[in-house]
Amino acid sequence: MVRPALGVASLALTARSARAASNYNMVDVFDATNFFNEFDFFTQPDPTHGFVQYVDAATASRDGLAGFTEGGVYLGVDYTNTTTTGRPSVRVTSKKAYTKGLFIADIAHMPAGSAGSSSCGLWPAFWMFGPNWPTSGEIDIIEGVNSQTANSVTLHTAAGCSVSNAGSLASTKLLSADCQGNEGCTQDTRASDNNYGPGFNAAGGGVYALEWTDAAIKVWFFPRGTDIATQLSSSSSSSSSSPSPETSTKTPDPTTFGTPLAVFAGSNCSIDQHFADHSLVFDTTFCGDWAGKTWASDAACAALADTCEAYVGANPAVFSEAYWLVNDVRVYQTAGSGSGSGASGGGGGGESKKRGRRGARRSGGGAVEGRRWQG
């Protein structure tokens, strides 16, 4: 179990050819030096109807739900108190928004059940979305619920986008080709037990890479300790959101990444038409329109309580490992990509259906002076 060691200071992420890949330049780095200056805290009701209370920056700092530990950014949940109104948690949204690029996230830990417990009730996600959801699209890079053991990667768009997953790992299954609306087009990954949840954490996490071009959206996962994960983890020596020209030349080359975990492409979806101005999001919610609605059909979870909300509310200790520990997120773009500088990825909220997708409204974040965590 990890607790943040230091408080949040001023709580305020297919190249078509090798040539295209070599033209990437690093435009932003988010890490322990600047993360809470670059992300806002979302405090509105959960658009996916989760059993959650998203807290503001001051509350997150006071209660130890956000901060720094082991050199990374900690984003956690309350695991001490019972609740009948929703478990306190953190959701943060980048102030900058991006159109296309290469996004590298080095993550040491993601939300999961504590040792000896399942991840029942949890719905964590690392994702990105644009204004006026789903018009500008949504990309769910890491997502899952309950006793799920492998990552789900999903796109959500307005009508008129259907994809194939040609070029994905053979073990990855495309569940639906139509990316429209709340359901979206989901790819279930089955290649390993270490790209999501307890398996991810037991292996020390790893590196997720997303490449978004006008031709395709591709996602890779590299487990901790693999050659590419090591290269990507050390590919930037800069910890500033304004990287120097010297460090900007040390760019990853997606043409060397191997077969993607998931590929979304095809002539029946214009990437440029359906995806633009995306902000990055980390969140952990509970139950709601996916984890809650599938509770009864998950035998492992249904055996624990009659409802997801009853289990989550009465068992705080099982969520001691329900936290993100992010080493850094780096954003690379080519000269023709949309810059994220000063942009905002706010958008109207789409109502959830079966799986309760987001399209959530953004909120402003508070700011408090840094402090040491108590307790």
14 close to 216: Cβ distance less than 8 angstroms = yes
Single out the catalytic residue among 143, 211, 309, 321.
143
Q: Which residues face 262 on adjacent strands?
A: 219
Selection from 18, 127, 5 nearest residue 73 by Cα: 5
Evaluate the CA torsion angle 305, 306, 308, 311 in order and state its sign.
negative
Distance CA(334)–CA(19), nearest Å, equals: 11
Torsions phi, psi for 31 (to 5 deg): -150, -165
Distance CA(164)–CA(269), nearest Å, equals: 10
Task: Give me 321's structure tokens.
Answer: 């490992």
Q: Which residues face 185 on adjacent strands?
A: 155
Catalytic residue list contains 321: no
Distance CA(353)–CA(48), nearest Å, equals: 9
365 close to 39: Cβ distance less than 8 angstroms = yes
Single out the catalytic residue among 38, 70, 138, 309.
138
Distance CA(140)–CA(134), nearest Å, equals: 13
Catalytic residue list contains 246: no
Distance CA(83)–CA(85), nearest Å, equals: 6
Q: Which residues are catalytic?
A: 138, 143
